[in-house]
Amino acid sequence: MKPSHVVALGGAGAVGFALLLMLLTHGAGFPLLAPSGSVGISERDLMVRTVYLMLIVVIPVIILAIFIAWHYREGNTKAAYTPNWEHSKMEEFIWWSIPFEIVLVLSAVTWSGTHELDPMKALVSTQPPLTVQVVALPWKWLFIYPEQGVASVNELALPVNRPVEFRITADAPMNSFWIPALGGQMYAMTGMTTMLHLMAPTAGNFTGRSANYSGAEFAQMSFTARAMDQSDFDAWVAQAKQAEALSSGTYSSLRVPSDAGPVRYYGSVDMTFADILDLYMPMRMDMTMPMGSSMMHHP
Amino acid sequence: MFGILTSAAFIHGPIETGGQLVVVLGGVSVLLLLTFTKRWKWLFREWLMSLDAKKIGIMYLVLAGLMLVRGGIDALMMRGQQAIAVGAGSGYLSPDHFAQVFSAHGVIMIFFVAMTFMFGLINCILPLQIGARDVAFPLMNSISFWLTATGAILLNLSLVVGEFAATGWLAYPPLSELAYSPGVGVDYYIWALQIAGIGTLLAAVNFIVTIVKERAPGMTLMRMPIFVWTVLASMLLVLFAFPILTGTLAMLSLDRAIGMHFFTTTLGGNAMMYVNLIWAWGHPEVYILILPAFGIFSELVPVFSQKRLFGYTSMVVATMVITILSFGVWVHHFFTMGAGANVNAFFGIATMAIAIPTGVKVFNWLFTMFRGRIRYTTPMLWFMGFLFTFILGGMTGVLMSVPPVDFQLHNSLFLVAHFHNMVIGGVLFGYFAGLAYWFPKIFGFGLHEALGKLAFWLWIVGFAVAFIPLYILGLMGMTRRLDFVDAASGYHPLLVVALVGACIIALAVSVQFFHFLVSLRERKHRKDSSGDYWGGRTLEWSTSSPAPLYNFAHIPHVHGRDAFWRMKEKGESGREGPYEDIMLPKNSAIGLFIAGFAFLFGFGMVWHMWWMLPVSLLGIFVTILVRSFATETEYVVPAAVVARTEAHHHPV
Ligand code: HEM
Ligand SMILES: [Cu+2]
């Protein structure tokens, strides 16, 4: 096959493949590219900005590579040929400085973006944050609302436009708490608390799930995050209040490894988040956490 | 006597039984074949006991090929499961079995395909490239190989007896602790890696010493081929990184075997420590693999561009900068573990910094091709394939090194696509390029070019069809390691496409094996009688193909870079008489014995057969003791035999 045929075939194949992929993903959701949450949107913007910055270098390099690969093929005897040329201070200086500069710009973007989107940082809002305590269980999610005194399994209710402060732990192997449409994830680990702030500007149902493999029925560890108006949220709380209590007895059956099971509600919370953390802290130690870390023992 | 091993360890579901049958029948048929063809003695004498680096290299390559098939079957099983499993419980694999498959796949591909393939090429080529007769410690070389093979055997034995870890390839606690993984799977994981890991560490010591001490006269550091530089860098990384792995796994095994609490949450242990340690090894590990691939490209791009390598010094500096930086970026694997913004930003920026020397390498390759005369042979095609896939993988890597972006992409299929992009498009393509390039040197005959190119195109297309959907699925929010998806998620169609891609790759691998067979059958007229199959520049091409036992009749004298190129320009061959006697190491079964005892040790640890531990340790000790009294470990190849061999290969 002639090289030009290879190129034509490759081009046609790539276009066909792209069309096929577009067809197959038609109507599917892209929570990372079109997120709903304010944090997710900022993270998406950062992602897009990073890609553009890289393309400034990558596109010329690809064009250069294609040109060199084609022009200096053996068959093209018209092309220049300098078999012993091996060194050029100027050119090498340029090769080092191009990636250096782009990385410098990216570093600045990274530094500011990382601080701005620090999951620990409270979100700016006129409303005070709502605290939700998240417990990863095998293989289900428990959400405790300490201010409201209710809890639920595999259903997360959130008032629209109000920042939410998640405090996350696990009573299970390590999991990761992730609602792609709202924003990035955070690990859930036994005996300690990690923190994540998210906010849903509009009402809607979003899929959340564990992103870190945690055992056999890991694939079932998904839940629905339901962003709703304040009045709907109040109604949701009132309805949850009707349910049984989250006693240490109900909790012990909940923590037994099992399928996700149905959505459940608890009208009061006797087994608190602190109690769950304490399961792993028989000798409470106040370890000073390593520099820059945010792990807290108790809320 | 049998510890916790009972007959229950042999009994599984139907699919596992299939796996058992394949392993057992495969093993038995090899044994029978050897017996009927009366090849046992030959096998031991010529291969298993050989201390010749070239033969040990070929054994590494064979092991890597076998493991590629095993890991590939695992991959097809996973792709098959995800392509049919819509809704809980709808696949053909149980969730636990699915987890064992993805864990085994990762471990096999990294340790027993990539690492093993790498050591195969290094053994076959590195001594030749530096003009040495052998490695510094030939016996230790054999021990390294056999310990690696023992790790592979132990891992595959878990298919037949017991089970494998269901934890993922890095076995994060607490999932890998006794509380959540009470079976023997994690123990198989630990001991397969411990034993293979020690083999790897010994091999690194061996090659570092070989490079430092055994170079031909005149080959200063700055005259070494770039492949030698990258191997040196990679082996230094092994030297510093593998002890971390060994220590980490040792602590995990203490947790599991005698109830310690290094990584449990209770009693002061901390799983985050494990996550840090395993990545302090794990990130350097990916550079251990990629650096020699960079080295291979730096060898073949000049040869096929018929031009000197552009920017040698830059290449060396870039390699060393990567080596150092790769120890300072491990946190990018867990930005989401709760570290503060300063820590995350620091490690994110350190990660990006690696893109600088990597970018320099890309430019230097391109400017080696610039104003060259590029011959698109199979090795060069692998390089071109690498170049474009690697640019994509590098971009996605840099993207994920921005912590807030990684919060979204971490643990998604986007991440899975990134590292396959690097490990397939970078590491594997690099080694395939190396194999195609050095095949005539290793085996004495060239490969069927058209079939080689066909395999390449199938790989490239299969790679795109298998992994581009994964990038898209990641952006759709799909996480890794799911044994089923929900119909409403919209993931299913792309998973079917990915399965098609995996099948294309399987076809590519079959074509590769077929093309070895075809070339073997036609070896007479594909013979590399000059020893310089491609018009090479470095010393390995100055000796015959395959290289004689003693590599070089005369140790070459090196006067500059591209030593063989210079010799050719001056019209020297370096092979003329008179010849001298040459001392070579005798065969030895010590490696087999040590590996055998190591196997018993590992098996005893897995199944709690405690009596095996002192027995095997004593066995290793006695083996070493006996060997230390051996005085006649070398034999002489008389000058007359050298003369005859040279005359045979190079009739004047
Ligand atoms: C420009 C160079 C590279 C950059 C910037 C980069 C960046 C990253 C980052 C940030 C992650 C973590 C992502 C996450 O877990 O969310 C990652 C994961 C990974 N990368 Fe790269 N990478 C680069 C090159 C490579 C190379 C050369 C290899 C292999 C030879 C490689 C193999 C991997 C693997 C195996 C993983 C993760 C495996 C796992 O989580 O199981 N990367 N890379
Ligand atoms: Cu890394």
ipTM of the complex: 0.93
Q: Report the residue from B339, B356, B391 with minimal CB separation from A58.
A: B391
Band of pLDDT at residue A291, cut at 50, 70 and 90 = very low
Residue B410 to residues B20, B418, B476, B477, B542, Cα–Cα distance (Å): 35, 11, 13, 10, 49
B357, B321 contact by CB (below 8 A):
yes
Cβ contact A114–B403 (<8 Å): yes
* Sheet with strand A130-137: strands edge to edge: A194-198, A164-170, A130-137, A140-145, A150-153, A264-266
Distance CA B603, CA B606 (A): 5
Q: Distance, CA B404 to ligand 1 centroid (Å)?
A: 16
Q: Distance, CA B333 to ligand 2 centroid (Å)?
A: 6
Partner B contacted by A38 (CB < 8 A): no
Which of A147 and A95 is assigned the larger pLDDT?
A147
Of the residues B374, B467, B480, the best mutation for testing chain A's interface (the one with the most A CB atoms within 10 Å of its CB) is B374
Which residues 72-111 on chain A approach chain B with CB closer than 8 angstroms? 72-74, 79-88, 91-92, 95-96, 98-100, 103, 106-107, 109-111
B415 CB near ligand 1 (under 6 Å): yes
Cβ contact B311–A95 (<8 Å): yes
Residues of chain B with pLDDT under 50: 652
Nearest-CA residue for ligand 1 atom 7 is: B397
- Give pTM, 2 decimals: 0.94
Distance CA B79, CA B406 (A): 25
Closest CA to A293 of A119, A124, A138, A128: A119
Burial class (CB in 10 A: 0-12, 13-18, 19+), B294: buried
B329, B386 contact by CB (below 8 A):
no
Compare all CA atoms of chain B with the CA of A49 and give the residue at the minimum distance. B399
Contacts of B268 in chain A (CB under 8 A): 283, 285
What one-character DSSP code corresponds to residue B323? H
Which residues 199-218 on chain A approach chain B with CB closer than 8 angstroms? 207, 209-218
Nearest-CA residue for ligand 1 atom 38 is: B419
B423 CB near ligand 1 (under 6 Å): yes
Which residues 159-178 on chain A approach chain B with CB closer than 8 angstroms? 173-174, 176, 178
Q: Report the residue from A33, A173, A295 with minimal CB separation from B174.
A: A173
Task: Please tell me the number of the ligand nearest to residue B424's CA.
Answer: 1
Closest ligand 1 atom, residue B410 Cα: 16
Band of pLDDT at residue A92, cut at 50, 70 and 90 = confident
Distance CA B361, CA B233 (A): 15
B536, B564 contact by CB (below 8 A):
yes
Cβ contact A87–B371 (<8 Å): no
Residue B521 to residues A97, A289, B527, B547, Cα–Cα distance (Å): 51, 65, 11, 21
| pLDDT tens column, A154-207 | 999 999 999 999 999 999 999 999 999 999 999 999 999 999 999 999 999 999
Cβ contact B340–A32 (<8 Å): no
Average pLDDT score over chain A: 91
**3-state SS, residue A204:** strand
Compare all CA atoms of chain B with the CA of A65 and give the residue at the minimum distance. B366
B406 CB near ligand 1 (under 6 Å): yes
Distance CA B262, CA B271 (A): 8
* pLDDT at position B651: 54
B378, B452 contact by CB (below 8 A):
yes
Contacts of A57 in chain B (CB under 8 A): 359
Contacts of A96 in chain B (CB under 8 A): 314, 356, 360
Partner B contacted by A256 (CB < 8 A): no
- CA B37 from chain center: how many Å? 31
B176 CB near ligand 1 (under 6 Å): no
Contacts of A24 in chain B (CB under 8 A): 493-494, 497
Percent of chain A with pLDDT over 90: 78
Contacts of A187 in chain B (CB under 8 A): 334, 336-338
Which residues have a Cβ under 8 Å from the Cβ of B441 and sit 6 or more positions away? B124, B125, B128, B528, B531, B533, B540, B541, B545, B546, B547
Compare all CA atoms of chain B with the CA of A295 and give the residue at the minimum distance. B338
Burial class (CB in 10 A: 0-12, 13-18, 19+), A59: exposed
Which residues have a Cβ under 8 Å from the Cβ of A79 and sit 6 or more positions away? A71, A72, B371, B373
Distance CA A199, CA B300 (A): 54
Q: What residues are neighbours of ligand 2 (ion), with CB under 5 Å?
A: B 283
B280 CB near ligand 1 (under 6 Å): no
Ligand 1: which of B333, B356, B389 to mutate, judged by most atoms within 8 Å of the beta carbon? B333
Contacts of B271 in chain A (CB under 8 A): 174, 189-190
Contacts of B86 in chain A (CB under 8 A): none
